[in-house]
Structures are given as C-alpha cells and as structure tokens.
Chain A
Amino acid sequence: EAQVTQNPRYLITVTGKKLTVTCSQNMNHEYMSWYRQDPGLGLRQIYYSMNVEVTDKGDVPEGYKVSRKEKRNFPLILESPSPNQTSLYFCASSSWSGSSYEQYFGPGTRLTVT
C-alpha cells in the first residue's frame, strides 16, 4: 500500500529540547516536502527536497532543519523548539511521470511546545 508515514503522531515537549519528526514514503518519489498548518493561516510550506541531498527553503523555514540522505526519508528537525512552533505538521511526497502526477500526504503530527 502506497503511503507516507510520520512519527510521532502527537508530541508535547518543552522549549529548547531538540526533536525530530520522521517522514517516510514507500513510493520511490523524488519530491518530498513539509508543511505546517495553523488556524487562520492555512498550510504553509516549510522545506522541500527535490531528491537525495537536494533541499531548499519554503515559505516558513526559520527554526527548522531538514535532511535527505535517503530517497524514502525526509526528517524535520527542530533544534531548539519554541512555543510558536506549536502546530500541525504534514509531510508529503510526489512524483511526475510524463503528464501524470501523484502525491500523498502523511497523517500529520500534532506538536505542542510549552
């Protein structure tokens, strides 16, 4: 079954304690990205990756890091989380093949930083 998995699904942490949210896809997609969703602001792109070792900033990259060492994994790293990073996070993967396009979103990770 094609899917994007995220872990953990729920996380409560304290300010300054480094954390990593993992994202993994089993479809051999080249493109992966992270979004955050906040009330009144909608979904905004944090970082994206076009392939292994190729990453770039989205609209709201401050306070986040990513890496793409393997095609299937795209972890999101918060080196020093702050309360304004409390949000619902989604990972997505996608691929183009000719004129067809395929995309999947993960189930989301709800992060609370106190």
Chain B
Amino acid sequence: KQEVTQIPAALSVPEGENLVLNCSFTDSAIYNLQWFRQDPGKGLTSLLLIQSSQREQTSGRLNASLDKSSGRSTLYIAASQPGDSATYLCAVRMRKGGSEKLVFGKGTKLTVNP
C-alpha cells in the first residue's frame, strides 16, 4: 500500500529565506507526483506536476525534484514571502489499467514571518 510522508509537519521561517519541503513515498511505481498548495479552509491549487520520467520541474520561485528510485521529492521555495504561508501537499499518482489513485501526504504547514 502506497504511503506518502511529508517532513516537517510544520515550518516557520523569516521572510526572504530559501526553504525545502520533503516528501517520501513507499512504492516507486508512480505515474507522476504533484505538489499542491492549500490555504486555510480553501481548495487545492496545483503548483507543480512531475511525470515519473522527469527529474524536476520549475515554476517561478518554485522548483520540485523527483528521485523515483529512492522514493523522494523535494519542493524548493526561493526567497520566501509572507504570501507563501499555506499548507503544502505532496501527492503521488498511481495508475493501473484505466484506474487512477492519488495518494496524499498530510502536508507541511508553512509560515513565513515578515
């Protein structure tokens, strides 16, 4: 059974700092991996999606890496801002035949202090 773990569960940093969020998964047979952002009481915003054949994806100040063989992904946020404060969720997508299963980690709650 696929399990996704995110470390740390919470992180507080001063504005301007570069930071790394970690995600690990137990079954390397993934189709892709996705990072989401969730603001309190809100829906999910997709940040980056990395296909299983890719090593990294970048969008603005965000860079996500994937090492499928070791079951790890990182989300790097450069020059953090108070507006980056949110919960970040990592999810791996398993695909078997025509079915799809998205398994989420429990998230890292990020607070960026001005």
Give chain A's interface residues, CB within 8 Å of chain B: 31, 33, 35, 40-45, 48, 50-51, 54, 56, 58, 88, 90, 92, 94, 99, 101, 103, 105-108, 110
Q: In the complex, which residues of chain B have a beta carbon less than 8 angstroms from the beta carbon of A51?
A: 98
- A43 & B100 in contact (Cβ 8 Å cutoff): no
Of B12-20, B44-52, B60-68, B70-78, the stretch lying at the interface with chain A is: B44-52
Residue of A nearest to B95 (CB): A96
- A56 & B99 in contact (Cβ 8 Å cutoff): yes
Q: In the complex, which residues of chain B have a beta carbon less than 8 angstroms from the beta carbon of A108?
A: 42-43
B89 at the A interface (CB under 8 A): yes
**Residue of B32, B34, B43, B46 with most partner-chain A CB within 10 A:** B43
CB of B50 to closest CB in A, whole Å: 11
- B100 & A105 in contact (Cβ 8 Å cutoff): no
Given contacts A103-B46, A106-B43, A107-B43, contact A45 B102 (CB under 8 A): yes
**Residue of B44, B98, B104 with most partner-chain A CB within 10 A:** B44
Q: Closest 4 CB pairs between A and B?
A: A42-B106, A43-B104, A105-B44, A107-B43
| SS of B interface (majority) | strand
Residue of B nearest to A39 (CB): B106
- A105 & B99 in contact (Cβ 8 Å cutoff): no
Residue of B nearest to A30 (CB): B98
Determine the interface band of chain B, counting residues with CB < 8 A from chain A: 20 to 34
- A42 & B43 in contact (Cβ 8 Å cutoff): no
| SS of A interface (majority) | strand
Given contacts A48-B100, A90-B43, A106-B43, contact A101 B32 (CB under 8 A): yes
Q: In the complex, which residues of chain B have a beta carbon less than 8 angstroms from the beta carbon of A44?
A: 104
Q: In the complex, which residues of chain A have a beta carbon less than 8 angstroms from the beta carbon of B104?
A: 35, 42-44
CA–CA, A71 to B59, complex, Å? Answer: 32
Question: 21 A-B pairs, CB-CB below 8 angstroms?
Answer: A33-B100, A35-B102, A42-B89, A42-B106, A43-B91, A43-B104, A44-B104, A48-B100, A50-B100, A51-B98, A54-B98, A56-B99, A88-B41, A90-B44, A99-B51, A101-B32, A101-B49, A101-B51, A103-B49, A105-B46, A107-B43
